[in-house]
Amino acid sequence: DQQVKQNSPSLSVQEGRISILNCDYTNSMFDYFLWYKKYPAEGPTFLISISSIKDKNEDGRFTVFLNKSAKHLSLHIVPSQPGDSAVYFCAASSTGGGNKLTFGTGTQLKVEL
């Protein structure tokens, strides 16, 4: 049972445009959500997070939106840059769950010149 789902395995965007990566979850106990970025042969790198008490968090070019009623979150990257090309993982956690992360299957983002 996949509790965190990323239904788009890949996304291609032109440089300078907006990239929107989506994530859905099923477990209502999740109250903290994170996005990680992963380059080949490296470990995931933390990008941005959001608590369930908020619906938006912004950090530079990255913004995460949370829709609790729909159990949906999205990551917006504006403007997209070629260095953003990587696999993006959505992850979720619950404060009572010891901080272990439940990950989605990832979305491969390619930013083209």
Partner 1 sequence: GAGVSQSPRYKVAKRGQDVALRCDPISGHVSLFWYQQALGQGPEFLTYFQNEAQLDKSGLPSDRFFAERPEGSVSTLKIQRTQQEDSAVYLCASSARAGGLSINEQFFGPGTRLTVL
Cβ-based neighbours of 8, under 8 Å, separated by 6 or more: 21, 22, 107
DSSP assignments along 70-112, one per residue? TTEEEEEESS--GGG-EEEEEEEE-GGGTT--EE---EEEEEE
Q: Quick check: 66 binds partner 1 (CB under 8 A)?
A: no
**CA–CA dist 62, 73 (Å, integer):** 13
Which of the ranges 10-18, 43-51, 61-69, 73-81 carries the binding residues for partner 1, by CB under 8 A? 43-51
Considering only residues 21, 34, 64, 109, which one is a binding residue for partner 1 as defined by CB under 8 A?
34
Size of the site for partner 1 (CB under 8 A): 28
The residue among 19 and 37 lying less far from partner 1, judged by its C-beta, is 37
| Contact map string, positions 73 to 112, toward partner 1, x by CB under 8 A | ----------------x-x-x-xxxxxxxxxxxx------
Provide the binding-site residues for partner 1, judged by CB under 8 A.
4, 6, 32, 34, 36, 41-46, 49, 51, 89, 91, 93, 95-106
